[in-house]
Amino acid sequence: MNRKICLSVAVLFGIALTASAHAACPIAGQYAVKGKLTGASGSYKGEAIIKDEGGDCFVRWLPPNTSQGVGTYADGVLTVNFTLGGQPGVVRYERNGDGVLEGTFWPKGHPTSISGTETLTPLN
The pTM of the full predicted model, rounded to 2 decimals, is 0.77
For 20-81, what is the HEC assignment? Answer: HHCCCCCCCEEEEEEEEECCCCCCEEEEEEEEEECCEEEEEEECCCCEEEEEEEECCEEEEE
Position 47, amino acid: E
How confident is the model over 16-51, as pLDDT tens digits? 333 444 568 999 999 999 999 888 889 999 999 999
SS3 96: coil
Looking at residue 112, its pLDDT comes to 62
Looking at residue 12, its pLDDT comes to 36
Looking at residue 13, its pLDDT comes to 39
Low-confidence ranges of the chain (pLDDT < 50): 1, 3-21
Q: What is the DSSP letter of 90?
A: E
Cα 8 to chain centroid, rounded:
36
Looking at residue 18, its pLDDT comes to 39
Position 113, amino acid: S
Give the containing element (helix H, strand E) for 121: strand 116-122
Q: Are 48 and 71 in contact (CB under 8 A)?
A: no
What's the topology of domain 24-122? Lipocalin (2.40.128)
**Beta pairing class for 29-37 and 44-53:** antiparallel
